[in-house]
Chain A
């Protein structure tokens, strides 16, 4: 521990070893630890399972919202920024973002894509024009 930078690195190493050591613990032991902390293993498990399932649903939901408004995003272009994902409509450039926790926002969700022929056609069809 000679300088401050090494403390930063030491903290990361300790936590990484702790994170890895968890996976070597037996199933019985980890469940006993959970019970020991006063938590219900089944409830905890379902909560974590929800965390695992949520991201794909959020992504699907974001794509669905964009589609319904006629926006087109490149699925390869989702950029990770801090704690959210960001993309832009290929046609109109409006932005959309979401977090894995389930928040979706952005200008693209405020209205139909002004550059989308597809939406214009659909709109005409729906209004009988």
Chain B
């Protein structure tokens, strides 16, 4: 039985197929338990972060070791034994997926001695585990086919000298990176230490990254034939996935750098998947998307066996980033370009300019912090989709009133103000320093309210700064004749019309604008001549008093205040009273 990577479905699709097959064996209690395990794995794979906790269901009758108890194996029927193996394998898959430490080799059994369903199930599981195992770094993994459904240790093989040397170099390299990582952790612990250690870290980092593309290839040998992973991996008990766990995909050509980035990300609570080249990165992304962050090395190759020309502008990462954006325009990405001194020096096309560029490893932490607090474009989209009709109605009304508060300096309609707040948020999510950023700890509606207020206030300030008195707006024509902007208006024109024309001419006659404001304030109070409580509330608001201050000043109860506010709101929105009906 052969499995090549091109034949593989995504782990989710494979697991779903296994689940469906196990469902056909309802009567067997072991199958039921295996089904339960799968049923929990599939939604977790399908879900978007933050993922729900997952627990592994372990069959107590199956061996806890990676293999099956030989005694048990000899005394139980073949079908049941296979199911025990399936259950044990599932427990291990879940344990491995839950683990934040480097992945341990997993064991899969292809049972060709069983016919029908069980055979298919075991084959599928083998393919799933092969898929999970076949991600770099792949040192020490070897795959063979077990056609006899028996667990067997891989035979010893003669390791070529270059592989031994490579392993030694890798070990030395790994120690150096580990030391660097420790220093970085120390630097993070306090600002003083950070200041002191930063030069050393940067220096060591540069030393380690110099010539990193000359590092030896990994000594991996992969099975295209099928699966059984050798090695005596000690089984770990299943643990629950943290509900807040985040995911990252790292596409990094250099194994040492990949190791340190993965360790760092895992230390920060990320579940990390990694690829060594563009093709593998895209395949992983397609199968396992979305991720909280995708980190792409600037020097990533199309395929692992292609030599990178360091002196040429790199294009593979661009193609990969474009492909990912095509799949998911909201995917948060970052580029690791550690050979550059400044992000602006990194050549990239316009549409990828918003992607943050990391030029040193310390910026990775800043990026992760930003991801933790600041919403991504995808999260903003999700927040919009999650807004209830009531939330949306509140936003609309809030925007409507805010625009009316701008008077004749209005930025247009409530749609313009709300749209501008949202566009600014969208720009901010791109993390390039422009726009406003939504801190996810703040409720989205509350955030938008603040954004609209800020935009409206800023707009008002700008108008106030450039306001022009009519006497200042007087200009001379070519013959020296004095002209006022307001001369264009006829005697029958309303103040609003006068303002509109004046604004179109590029001027804001302050006196006119204030006249209109006076008229509007008068009208508002006039609507509540017979409503004493509403008048008090309006007076309080016009003095910018808060609710408590209004209650105290006018000796109102909270109930009376709320009722008055409601009446004001209703009357102001009533189309019969000039409202928009919002």
B-contacting residues of A (Cβ < 8 Å)? 1, 4-5, 7-8, 10-23, 25, 27-31, 33-34, 36-39, 41-42, 44-45, 48-49, 51-56, 58-60, 63, 66-67, 71-76, 78, 80, 82-83, 85, 99-101
Contacts and interface: CB of A to CB of B under 8 A. Distances in A.
A55 B424 CA distance: 9
Given A52-B395, A63-B350, A80-B420, 15 more contacts: A7-B514, A8-B407, A13-B543, A16-B456, A29-B566, A45-B392, A48-B393, A48-B396, A51-B415, A52-B418, A56-B380, A67-B350, A71-B350, A73-B350, A100-B422
A11 B409 CA distance: 12
A17 B511 CA distance: 25
Contact of B416 (A4, A11, A19, A83): A83
Nearest to A12: B405
Contacts of B377: 56
A65 to B, nearest CB: 12
B513 A23 contact: no
B237 interface: no
Interface stretch (B14-22, B108-116, B515-523): B515-523
A17 B407 CA distance: 15
Nearest to B426: A56
A21 B569 CA distance: 9
8 contacts: A4-B515, A19-B402, A19-B405, A25-B569, A33-B569, A55-B423, A75-B430, A100-B416
Contacts of B391: 27
A11 B426 contact: no
B71 interface: no
B518 A4 contact: yes
Nearest to B354: A75
B517 A10 contact: yes
Most buried by A among B351, B390, B434, B566: B390
B430 A19 contact: no
B412 A83 contact: yes
Given A51-B418, A78-B427, A15 B581 contact: no
B526 interface: no
B541 A48 contact: no
Contacts of B70: none
A45 B511 contact: no
A127 to B, nearest CB: 22
A51 B394 contact: no
A99 to B, nearest CB: 8
Interface in B534-569: 538, 541-544, 565-566, 568-569
Contacts of B416: 83, 99-101
A26 to B, nearest CB: 8
In the A-B complex, list the 7 residue pairs whose CB atoms are closest, starting with the nearest: A15-B405, A100-B419, A27-B390, A55-B423, A45-B389, A4-B514, A19-B401
A44 B388 CA distance: 11
Interface stretch (B158-166, B362-370, B445-453): B445-453
A8 B350 contact: no
Contacts of B384: 49, 52-53
B429 to A, nearest CB: 9
A71 B468 CA distance: 38
A20 to B, nearest CB: 7
B397 interface: yes
A44 B389 contact: yes
B3 interface: no
Given A56-B377, A75-B434, A30 B394 contact: yes
A31 to B, nearest CB: 5
A67 B349 CA distance: 9
Contact of B517 (A11, A16, A53, A55): A11
A106 to B, nearest CB: 15
A17 B536 CA distance: 13
A14 B394 contact: no
A23 B394 contact: yes
A66 B427 CA distance: 17
Nearest to B570: A33
Contacts of B432: 75-76
A85 to B, nearest CB: 8
A8 B401 contact: no
Interface string B310-351: 000000000000000000010000000000000000000111
